[in-house]
Structure 1
């Protein structure tokens, strides 16, 4: 019934049963709170789904703020049953402020009951005096009466059962909730990214799928996803019970019973829970039960597993749901019969949805949250860094970089490209236990030991390159006692090779493995370095480092360590690497390309020019410049520099940057993500110039980030660099400097901002002149070249660029 109809009916009943209600100022309300133990359950009696089904509205009548009567108003001309009476009295007895009288009415028949004694009061009407007498004769509600009231309501009103279960789940999640910097807690309310697979899960449930598994590696955000699911589905129509399979490894019914006992103050048995649950899930009920199983694993007790299987069978009608999170190893154990390729009940009935790295929408949403909540932002270009697609890494960086002292309008930036410093920060994540560090250091030892085997086996070499994968055999041979712990930790996954029997361990925390490879490579490179010539040392350095995850960062870190112990080796390597420029190599016809994807495995490509329609190209010798790009942010001065010299003490460093930034090749470590998650970027192949990255993509080359850092540290020296670039019309160098400085034109340091603006204007002028000259170079007649050149300059492209990017009028 609508609100107006309800008000009219209440008014008619009150005139009949309480003739003096106007004089004593009786108020009424249609929402109130039941108290069951420590739980307060709000009810909106007039409009809840429960009461629409029952055809009853519950109204509290008050005098001077005191509850005096609970009115249960049934639909007109519907008989009053004994169940209506029992349930009405039970509601009244569980109100936080118990009313003296319970009135059951259908508009024509009015039946009064003493709430305390449950005895019927034979009368046609009540007055204030009768109410006072009932209150005077009242006594405390006995424990057994309280149990009867709770039992009656829980068996007849599933919403109350749902509300208590949902409050219990809320408390469980609260225990897992912490501030952004408390990385021991998987849930942070201030950093909740709406994961796209949540909608996929809900859609699958709505499509009558009753069992869904969310597969994800350790620290991928599985618990947070369950929290988001609960937050989205938490309502009086839904029962949502959360269970961490690592935490409470005993009967689900017993856990519910214990929790009810603790929170309601009454003894509840396993069978009562089973009875309540089954009665709440009766056929035709609108209520839906969701069991959330976190960290589902094959080691849980037989009791819990039996109950889960029982619930899977019960829920197989498509109305009630189980959602579990699981890592890849445990999914294999749970979904398949041991030593056979047969699926278990769980494997047969589960829909598996993979929780992967953040997609574009989720990444940009995370960046918005960082900006709004923590005054932090990852700079443009960061969306190409695989590291920033991991929620665990972003949260860790927020905890390190957030600055509560910033005032309105201020914010801090996180650089778009990880470097040596950032790799060190990532490995100090509090989320990683000492055991995880120990296991990853073992994998690093194994990885370095398999260097020769990778050279002999192309399948292993391709699979291990930039992933840090190792064979299972070597880990078992060196650390067999730790193998089971490694697999169960879910920080690595197993992949099987196609024909040669190899099985590998594919690490899911590559930043840790990379960090533990640095001292090993430094030690190996320094040993006997004097017995090798410079080319041999460079080849050995490349051989040790190129396959490691974050190879460019690891290489730079190794060189920095070598500079402290073997300065001559460091100097020799730097100078030799500057001579090894990256270049494009044509893929000849009938060449065989071998790739490896974590999900797809090995991929063979037999290249044919006529098949692919163009000439294939590969970038060769990328490694030296990639490593040097990661060294470039650290200005290298000449300690023997003479003050009277015309050269800057950073002359070598300027030459160093000039060499790398002049390359026509895009210099970036290869993207080792799954083929499904690789990010394309907008670029242009400019004849005679090289590959040009669109400015809107931000900073995605480490050398560009290095130029920006050096401009902040040694701006006057960097001015010398771009002046030299202008003299030689070095477009690649000048464009990279432009990309680096464009983001500094509005920086808070006004001196740096002015210097950056000056360069941006200079580049706009250079660009206009360069383009005018470029378009005319193929004209044979010098006069025509001059005419085209001058006509293009008259377009004032530089002024238009100034207006667009510098807000010039």
Structure 2
């Protein structure tokens, strides 16, 4: 084991004299100039490198470990205690352990407090008489030390891990670092959950730290799949790295259990082969130790079906262990009650009574603001309007959006800047297709896509499962088994691509943990069916596609990609009639009559039933509670919108240049779609379960319609598609802008003006100048024909 010189500052004056005096007393025959010392040294502990800072330990504990050298060879480990502190057998044991892990081994250990001197032979641990050592005696000791067995080194490591927090703290931290590294995405594998450049700060982590500071022994971090639980545990490791009171061990849940995982990690990372019983004994001893940091074991990806792991967590947090070992578990919210509930289904289990539950949800406004600051440090900006996009509050979406930027050679230039789309777009699927190319993985996700489409068409599913599946990719286990074998499903779970859970409805389900790849494969599956339907009945194909979009998470993006895929593949082919029929399915306003019953799924309350009353108010029922929403409390409570998915699909499709062959000639259709869909007299956005994201600043102009206020930014996919079109075409877009103005549609002109305003602010110099010319010229003239949207500003 190589020793590295790490001393970077002069030794402490208060023990320098004691050290020099001890050297002169024990080794009087050595010239003073031949002896040097290290108060800061390192040794290899398996793959880990452990640093020992004697000066820091002396200040803190009143004793220091120092390595003495005779020229380049270790001479002795000097255990120097502050004067007045008694010597103990623990001092000798620690010194012996350090001496044995050095390479080459230090043949002697000298323990002193300035008054008393003990000399111990490293090879057998037996003492000498404390008298000055002759050169002949020293030669004999060196020869004996050279024959020491490897077993003595193993015992030395065991001693250091059991008695020295300096050593086991670093060992545990490096084991955690190795475990996290295994789950960190690389240039060739983007499917892993962690990104080396991307870690969001979450309030949940602070709450967990508060519970740990209070001495709570079991904390559950619960939330829906893909909400960021694993990254909270990773953040916990980072935040406790320099904490004097806490050391965090990161463990990925599997069938082997916490203690076996700990034993395996010690063996592979530290070259310290221990059995599960020895690892458990180490944990028990540590849990009852005083004046040492607490060990926090964080378990990522817990599944209640892991019965052995469940028993171990109960054991680790039981009275058998002391309070110095604490456990934090990441768990899906649907499985929390299975972990904490009693056998009778009513009372709490012992774990339920001792557990502190911390619920993790999507990014709130404060966390989202912190995320923007973090992205800003990487020179990545979010376009105005993104704060209204619910999808961007999910960490996995943000990570997918920024990963290509982090990987690009252009962004390595410190002068470069990047801007992210303010809403979910086809770029998410493009990212998946460029980065996730493994054929076997693609095949398995193709089968997952087929299973999910079957699920989406099943109207016999429980209502809660049906509604939740509109926002999260959930597949019932029994239906997935019809597409994939049990071994394949277990492999996907083991590799982290699927997460098994029991839904609130009681159904065994799996949540897909690589949604962007599933979205890509869903688009491919839908493209085949769309092409088949379009050949016989374009109207049926368009209606089917619009309905499909309404039954899928990210349905509008997926179905827009499906249209593009079908049109690009020669073996499929797509008739232009389908686009025409989608354009004909115009969004409509519907009045909700008294007695109408609705349902929605909310993150906060789960299933919510809504009843429309005679006076136009609504009764909302959830979780056994009831509330009345008066008409004055909300806008347009008696109004619903339908048939909007077709134009949402077209909004995303129009973000890409699209060409169709018409009578032997190629014609661009994206400019046509932009004009037609851009004239919609309602706000074209996918509704969600939270009012926070459904409501945006808007103008309601009688007889004309509703339009997003420019102060809200870009919040509609059709406006973002216009922004991309003008950015690509540059000054060549002037005729298209002129055509939009000539149509005398205020919603269309207003959307074009918002796109131009963004380009005037963030486009290249020439593009910004062109956008300003258009705004001051044809757009201003066209807007003058309509009522002022902001009369006070004019």
Report the counterpart of residue 522 of structure 1 in structure 2.
530
- Distance (whole Å) between structure 2 residues aligned to residue 761 and residue 662 of structure 1: 21
Report the counterpart of residue 627 of structure 2 in structure 1.
none
- Distance (whole Å) between structure 2 residues aligned to residue 170 and residue 138 of structure 1: 38
Residue 70 of structure 1 aligns to a residue in which SS? strand
- Distance (whole Å) between structure 1 residues aligned to residue 565 and residue 184 of structure 2: 40
Residue among 572, 596, 601 paired with 1:596:
601
Report the counterpart of residue 616 of structure 1 in structure 2.
637
Report the counterpart of residue 385 of structure 2 in structure 1.
381
Shift of 1:444: 0.7
Residue pair 2:741, 2:782 contacting (<8 A) in 1 also = no
Residue pair 2:655, 2:670 contacting (<8 A) in 1 also = no
- Call closer, same or farther: CA 1:677–1:291 in 2, change over 3 Å: farther
- Call closer, same or farther: CA 1:87–1:751 in 2, change over 3 Å: closer
Report the counterpart of residue 735 of structure 2 in structure 1.
720
- Distance (whole Å) between structure 2 residues aligned to residue 713 and residue 38 of structure 1: 52
Shift of 1:600: 1.8
5 Å matches for 1:355-374? 355-363=360-368, 366=371
Residue pair 2:597, 2:610 contacting (<8 A) in 1 also = yes
* Residue-by-residue CA offset, 1:213-271 (whole Å, 9 max, x unaligned): 3335555544443333223324676454443333xx44654554455456666764444
Q: CA RMSD in A?
A: 5.0
The answer to whether 1:290 aligns with 2:312 is no
- Call closer, same or farther: CA 1:424–1:495 in 2, change over 3 Å: farther
5 Å matches for 1:584-733? 592-597=597-602, 599-607=605-613, 608-609=615-616, 611-613=630-632, 616-621=637-642, 623=644, 624-633=646-655, 657-671=674-688, 674-675=689-690, 678=693, 680-685=695-700, 690-715=705-730, 718-723=733-738, 731-733=746-748
- Call closer, same or farther: CA 1:66–1:636 in 2, change over 3 Å: closer
Report the counterpart of residue 625 of structure 2 in structure 1.
none
- Distance (whole Å) between structure 2 residues aligned to residue 546 and residue 64 of structure 1: 77
Residue among 49, 64, 87 paired with 1:57:
64
Residue 584 of structure 2 aligns to a residue in which SS? helix
Shift of 1:162: 3.8
Kindly name which structure, 1 or 2, has the bigger radius of gyration based on alpha carbons: 1
Shift of 1:667: 1.5
- Distance (whole Å) between structure 2 residues aligned to residue 698 and residue 46 of structure 1: 57
Residue pair 1:217, 1:490 contacting (<8 A) in 2 also = no
- Call closer, same or farther: CA 1:314–1:434 in 2, change over 3 Å: farther
5 Å matches for 1:9-158? 9-12=15-18, 14-15=20-21, 18=24, 24=33, 27-36=36-45, 39-48=48-57, 52-53=60-61, 55-62=62-69, 64=71, 67-96=74-103, 98-99=105-106, 101-115=108-122, 118=125, 120-122=127-129, 139-143=145-149, 144-158=151-165
Residue 221 of structure 2 aligns to a residue in which SS? strand
- Call closer, same or farther: CA 1:397–1:649 in 2, change over 3 Å: closer
Shift of 1:704: 0.9
- Call closer, same or farther: CA 1:622–1:754 in 2, change over 3 Å: farther
What's the TM-score, normalizing by structure 1? Answer: 0.76
- Call closer, same or farther: CA 1:699–1:641 in 2, change over 3 Å: farther
- Call closer, same or farther: CA 1:740–1:93 in 2, change over 3 Å: same
Report the counterpart of residue 440 of structure 1 in structure 2.
449
Shift of 1:200: 2.0
The answer to whether 1:208 aligns with 2:230 is no
Shift of 1:701: 0.9
**Range moving further from structure 2, 255-264 or 598-607:** 255-264
**Range moving further from structure 2, 427-436 or 310-319:** 427-436
Shift of 1:601: 0.6
* Residue-by-residue CA offset, 1:11-42 (whole Å, 9 max, x unaligned): 15634762889963755443223555554421
Residue pair 1:738, 1:763 contacting (<8 A) in 2 also = no
Shift of 1:740: 0.9
- Distance (whole Å) between structure 1 residues aligned to residue 259 and residue 346 of structure 2: 32
**Range moving further from structure 2, 558-567 or 193-202:** 558-567
- Distance (whole Å) between structure 2 residues aligned to residue 469 and residue 113 of structure 1: 65
Residue 284 of structure 1 aligns to a residue in which SS? coil
- Distance (whole Å) between structure 1 residues aligned to residue 457 and residue 724 of structure 2: 33
* Residue-by-residue CA offset, 1:520-556 (whole Å, 9 max, x unaligned): 76267447538xxx6x887666555544444444554
- Call closer, same or farther: CA 1:231–1:146 in 2, change over 3 Å: same
What's the TM-score, normalizing by structure 2? Answer: 0.77
Shift of 1:468: 8.5
Residue among 336, 344, 347 paired with 2:349:
344
Residue pair 1:708, 1:741 contacting (<8 A) in 2 also = yes
- Call closer, same or farther: CA 1:414–1:6 in 2, change over 3 Å: closer
Residue among 176, 189, 195 paired with 1:188:
195
Residue pair 1:586, 1:616 contacting (<8 A) in 2 also = no
- Distance (whole Å) between structure 2 residues aligned to residue 220 and residue 40 of structure 1: 35
Residue 183 of structure 1 aligns to a residue in which SS? coil
- Distance (whole Å) between structure 1 residues aligned to residue 257 and residue 469 of structure 2: 46
Residue pair 1:496, 1:504 contacting (<8 A) in 2 also = no
Residue pair 1:90, 1:150 contacting (<8 A) in 2 also = yes
Residue 91 of structure 1 aligns to a residue in which SS? helix
Residue pair 2:267, 2:274 contacting (<8 A) in 1 also = yes
- Call closer, same or farther: CA 1:281–1:506 in 2, change over 3 Å: closer
- Distance (whole Å) between structure 2 residues aligned to residue 334 and residue 377 of structure 1: 41
5 Å matches for 1:475-494? 475=479, 489-490=498-499, 494=503
Residue pair 1:492, 1:507 contacting (<8 A) in 2 also = no
Residue among 771, 777, 781 paired with 1:756:
771
Residue pair 1:289, 1:320 contacting (<8 A) in 2 also = yes
Residue pair 2:685, 2:716 contacting (<8 A) in 1 also = yes
Shift of 1:404: 1.0
- Distance (whole Å) between structure 2 residues aligned to residue 66 and residue 762 of structure 1: 84
Residue 46 of structure 1 aligns to a residue in which SS? helix
Residue pair 1:741, 1:756 contacting (<8 A) in 2 also = yes
5 Å matches for 1:760-775? 760-762=775-777
* Residue-by-residue CA offset, 1:739-779 (whole Å, 9 max, x unaligned): 11233236675553432232233379659967997899xxx
Residue pair 1:100, 1:131 contacting (<8 A) in 2 also = no
- Count residues in correspondence: 747
Residue pair 1:695, 1:739 contacting (<8 A) in 2 also = yes
